[in-house]
């Protein structure tokens, strides 16, 4: 319960930060720019709150499964959800070969768990159980909402950066900087930096908590520890075909999407440290 309250506070702070950052960027176009940015921020906050789970599933081309289409996966999730005292989440399989998994949803009653085809092929039953228990721990701790909102924030700033840079270089926009494209680029980079730091700060600590809680739900830490080793090793070689790298913080291990970010912006703590914490090493 305490973790949930903390995450609810973080969610409110993240939404407030999104609003403030957008208004700040809009201020470089004067009062009108601030008003437009504020309106966009309100729309984005509403979208992030109510539709971020559907956006995430759609981005990964998740296909819903049930007891008839994927009985082993469905009943495993159902058993673990009962053990975690959670409502049964929606279950999806994503067609990507890169092995990974994530959970999403604004609350436990509107939650979903998704695994990639690669993960289903790679992991044995005990390892898959550990991964699913980890994702259910995220749902129980209400990490899923803040994770999806963080992905929405980062994705928005990536899109905004591209748009503002294009407009600034093409038209010499920016009332305060008199059309200086370098100043425009500086504004965009600062905004993107802020979003990246917010996302990284929120994501990394919650993984240790979800690992520990997931081990309790599964009944032991060994399946999850083994799964993390396999997922980390293969994810370094198989690129995740994800159209939105801003979603990296949602997955159980950091996806390989080209490895252009530094450790400062990594959305997950090092996998070896997570395994050591799980096994009490």
Largest CA distance in the chain: 63
Cα 180–Cα 186–Cα 190 angle in degrees, nearest 5:
155
If DSSP codes are grouped into helix, strand and coil, which group holds residue 104? strand
Distances (CA, A) of 26 to 33, 108, 162: 4, 35, 15
What are the beta bridge partners of residue 91? 65, 113
135 is catalytic: yes
CA distance 233 to 105: 28
What angle, rounded to 10 degrees, do the helices at 71-83 and 181-218 form? 80
Neighbours of 166 (CB within 10 A): 12
Nearest to 151 by CA among 41, 250, 261: 250
CA distance 74 to 68: 9
CA distance 154 to 245: 9
Close Cβ partners of 187 (under 8 Å, ≥ 6 residues apart): 25, 28, 164, 174
Residue of 127, 129, 135, 232 marked catalytic = 135
If DSSP codes are grouped into helix, strand and coil, which group holds residue 124? coil
Q: Are the CB atoms for 162 and 109 separated by under 8 Å?
A: no
3-state helix, strand, coil in the chain (%, to 5): 70, 5, 25
Residues with catalytic roles = 135
């Amino acid at each position: 319960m305490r973790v949930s309250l903390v995450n609810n506070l973080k969610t409110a702070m993240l939404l407030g930060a999104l609003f403030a950052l957008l208004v700040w960027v809009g201020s470089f176009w004067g009062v009108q720019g601030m008003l437009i940015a504020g309106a966009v921020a309100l729309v984005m906050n509403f979208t992030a709150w109510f539709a971020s789970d559907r956006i995430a599933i759609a981005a990964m081309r998740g296909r819903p499964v049930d007891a008839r289409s994927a009985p082993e996966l469905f009943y495993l999730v159902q058993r673990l959800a009962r053990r975690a005292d959670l409502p049964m989440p929606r279950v999806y399989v994503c067609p990507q070969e890169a092995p990974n998994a994530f959970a999403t949803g604004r609350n436990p009653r509107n939650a979903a768990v998704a695994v990639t085809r690669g993960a289903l092929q790679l992991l044995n039953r005990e390892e898959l159980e550990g991964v699913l228990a980890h994702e259910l721990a995220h749902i129980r701790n209400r990490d899923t909402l803040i994770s999806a909102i963080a992905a929405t924030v980062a994705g928005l700033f990536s899109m905004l950066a591209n748009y503002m840079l294009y407009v600034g270089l093409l038209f010499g926009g920016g009332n305060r900087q008199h059309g200086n494209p370098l100043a425009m680029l500086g504004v965009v980079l600062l905004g993107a930096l802020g979003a990246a730091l917010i996302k990284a700060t929120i994501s990394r600590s919650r993984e240790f908590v979800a690992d520990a809680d997931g081990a309790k739900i599964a009944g032991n830490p060994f399946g999850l520890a083994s799964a993390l080793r396999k997922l980390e090793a293969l994810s370094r070689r198989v690129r995740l075909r994800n159209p939105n790298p801003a979603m990296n913080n949602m997955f159980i291990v950091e996806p390989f999407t080209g490895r252009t970010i530094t450790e400062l912006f990594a959305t997950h703590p090092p996998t070896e440290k997570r395994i050591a914490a799980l096994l009490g090493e």
